[in-house]
Amino acid sequence: MNVIIDFASLRERMFNDQLLDGLLGAHRREMEAADFTLPEDEYLEGKQALAPILSPQQLFLLEQAETLCRENMKYAMAFAFFQGCRAFFQQLFSRKPLEQPFHSLIVEQLLTMPNMAGHGKFYERHNRVQDIYQTLSGELNPWRQEHLTSVESAWDERLYGVLRHAFYLGYCQAMDSVRNSDGSRPSPDFPEMLALIEYELGFDPSRDIPRPD
């Protein structure tokens, strides 16, 4: 049995479009509860404004950029989930746990250079998307460029939302695995650990945290 291939297949089945759509839905409901729908509203306005003025080739490029953004979100979803698991076990066992696990394990490791360059295809897709936006922006009149910026910003906002929710999902999954075990060691203060993560992620404890559909 090829363990590497089997694990890759398992990973593909776990982190699929259904889970991604669920995380996007959780992010959307969170934004709606906070009355912060501006990025998605401007995205729709931007798409509607660009549709009649872009050439077929330009529309194809824009569609390609959005497809690449979604592919990167799938990669980011899996990465953030496992980093969330890692964050929990670091908090549980490390004598010096990370003060800001999400920033250290996600922002610095995936969204910031030079570490971003270590994520091969993610980095390549990111650069291709930036090239497409730059090309399209250069072909638009200045007063039309804001519509393209709205599309780009919405995808960035979605990516960050997916990262937050996938990280939290992985953290909670790891916590549940320990909470439900029959270990004899003293029980950690799970509520306090979880509260620290929720605080860093910006989740409002007064509201139910949206879960994937």
Q: In this predicted structure, what is the pLDDT of residue 14?
A: 76
Q: Is residue 87 part of a domain?
A: yes
Q: Which residues have CB under 8 Å from 71's CB, separation 6+? A: 125
- Give residue-wise pLDDT tens across range 29-40: 999 988 899 999
Q: Is residue 207 part of a domain?
A: no
Q: Is residue 37 part of a domain?
A: yes
User: Model's pTM, two decimal places?
Assistant: 0.88
Q: In this predicted structure, what is the pLDDT of residue 1?
A: 43
Q: Is residue 208 part of a domain?
A: no
Q: Is residue 144 part of a domain?
A: yes
Q: Inter-axis angle of helices 145-179 and 56-93, to 10 degrees?
A: 30
Q: Is residue 41 part of a domain?
A: yes
Q: Which residue range forms the structural domain that includes residue 176?
A: 19-201
Q: Is residue 68 part of a domain?
A: yes
How many independent structural domains does the chain possess?
1
Q: In this predicted structure, what is the pLDDT of residue 8?
A: 54
- Give residue-wise pLDDT tens across range 23-70: 999 999 999 988 899 999 999 999 999 999 999 999 999 999 999 999
Q: 């906002």: which residue's tokens?
A: 157
Q: Which residues of the chain have pLDDT under 50?
A: 1-4, 7, 213
Q: In this predicted structure, what is the pLDDT of residue 213?
A: 47
Q: In this predicted structure, what is the pLDDT of residue 11?
A: 60
